[in-house]
Each structure stands twice: as C-alpha cells, then as structure tokens.
Amino acid sequence: RWATIVSVAGGGLGWLVIAAGRAELLGTQPLELYSPETFGFLALLTFPHLLLARALLLLGLDAYLEAGRESHAASRASVWLALLVLTQPLSLAAAVAAIGMHQLLGIARRVTRREGRPVEWGRVRPALVALALPAALAAGYTLILRTDPFVRSWASQNILLSPHPIHYALAYGILLPAAMPAAWRALADQLPDRLLLAGWAAVLPLLAYAPTVIQRRLPEGGWVALAILAALGLSQLGVAP
C-alpha cells in the first residue's frame, strides 16, 4: 500500500533546488516539474495516455512473471505489451530492459552455481513469447519512422534529453537508501519477482543516458520499481512504512 501511494503520488528531492533559490540547476529544472515518465503524479495531472502506458507496462511485466506458474501468462504478457506499443511505443524499452536483465541475472546465477546449461529454453521461452508481438509492432513503427516523411519530420523535433545525473540523484535519492539493500538481497535470494525489480533498477542509468535523443523517456516506470524495493528494504530493516 505504501509503495502504491509513493508510486502514484510521490516525488523526489528536487524541491530542495527550488527551496534553495535555484530554480534551474546546471541549466535544467528539477525532474519533478516536467518529467512524467519519472514521476507518476505528473502523468496523473497531465497525460492520460502515459498513465495507460504505465499500467500496460506493469500488467505486461506481472504477466511475464506469472509465466513460470501459468502456461498462458506469457501470451497474455505479449498482448499487454503490444497494447503498450500502440499507446506509447517508447515505453517498450523499459519492458525490454526489465525482462532482459531478469533473464541475464538468471543466466549469471546458473553459471556461477554451475546448474546445468546456462541457457535453458524453458526459462527463456516466457521472455521470447512476451516480447514477440510487441517487437513486431515496434519494428513496423521503426519502418514508418524511416520511410514516412511526415513522421520523420515530427520525430526530428522530438528531442527529450536527460538532465545532468545530479537531477536523477535528487529525484531518486529519497528512495535509494532503502531500495539498494533490498536490491542487493534480491540478487542473493534469487526470487523471480524481486530479481526483476533489482535488474530493472540496475539498468535505469543505462536507459536514462542511452545514445538517443529520446533518452529521458526510456526510464519509464523505474520510480515504481524503486518504490517497491524501498518498501521491501524498510520491511527488512524492521521499519514498517
């Protein structure tokens, strides 16, 4: 419940910049003022399609995790993520990153523990099924971007660069002290749900500074992962949020 409230309505420490009389730090305002992909409350106030995209992202990841216990869950995840591409194509990067890191961490565990073959079809299949349909749609979208002159003209002005890392440190810093121990423990415990959260959180800096002009859109939903990890971290410390 605490993680849900923080995910939907919470923010970071960017207000400290404004309280200090520095409306702009390093040439950019705090992410709390203009980045709906970083904080849920901005999408709630401004962009309903981004709210829908985040819901589809989380539904897709949830169904992907269910694939280990339910035979049709991976197909359901693929449908959710395909709807995500139709709603907000850029958010698919977050799903690919989270699922990809989840798979890589699982492979790394099997390698270090020498548990048979590192890559097993039964473990990789849910990821491939979940990403198959959305990847096909994304490929079609990419083709349109390259061939349609109107869409190319629109894309040329769609520049969404990430600010200086200090802004992300302020944005996420309020959750990191509790989230980092939980992520570290998740890597040790290897519980599938928590392992996905830890992998997703770990890859957020790479998404935020990927070599593309739309980099600020790519860490979509990362605040949710950090909020859940922070709640887990506080519970592990015996602090009830």
Model confidence at 59, pLDDT cuts 50, 70, 90, reads very high
Contact of 193 with 65, CB cutoff 8 Å: yes
- Which residue from 79, 55, 69, 96 is spatially nearest to 219, judged by alpha carbons? 96
pLDDT value of residue 228: 96
pLDDT value of residue 155: 86
Can you tell me the distance from the alpha carbon of 147 to that of 155, in angstroms, rounded to the nearest whole number?
Answer: 12
- Which residue from 68, 70, 207, 185 is spatially nearest to 127, judged by alpha carbons? 68
Sign (positive or negative) of CA dihedral 7, 10, 16, 19: positive
Can you tell me the distance from the alpha carbon of 201 to that of 12, in angstroms, rounded to the nearest whole number?
Answer: 16
Mean pLDDT on 53-77: 94
Give φ, ψ of 25 to 5 degrees: -115, 125
Contact of 76 with 64, CB cutoff 8 Å: no
Q: Residue 241 pLDDT more than 60?
A: no
pLDDT of 92-149, one tens digit each? 999 999 999 999 998 887 777 766 666 677 789 999 999 999 999 999 999 998 899 9
Three-state secondary-structure class, residue 231: helix
pTM for the full model? 0.92
Three-state secondary-structure class, residue 25: strand
Q: Residue 165 pLDDT more than 80?
A: yes
pLDDT value of residue 85: 97
pLDDT of 2-51, one tens digit each? 999 999 999 999 989 888 888 888 889 999 999 999 988 888 888 889 99
Three-state secondary-structure class, residue 142: helix
Contact of 30 with 17, CB cutoff 8 Å: yes
Model confidence at 240, pLDDT cuts 50, 70, 90, reads low
More reliable by pLDDT, 209 or 118: 209
pLDDT value of residue 44: 82
pLDDT of 171-190, one tens digit each? 999 999 999 999 999 888 87
pLDDT value of residue 188: 81
Q: Residue 60 pLDDT more than 90?
A: yes
Can you tell me the distance from the alpha carbon of 5 to that of 15, in angstroms, rounded to the nearest whole number?
Answer: 19
Residue 4 Cα distances to 7, 14, 230, angstroms:
5, 20, 11
Q: Which residue has the tokens 């409230």?
A: 5
Contact of 58 with 224, CB cutoff 8 Å: yes
pLDDT value of residue 58: 97
Q: Tokens representing 37?
A: 């992909």
Percent of the chain as helix, strand, coil, to the nearest 5: 70, 0, 25
Can you tell me the distance from the alpha carbon of 18 to that of 29, in angstroms, rounded to the nearest whole number?
Answer: 9
Q: Residue 198 pLDDT more than 90?
A: yes
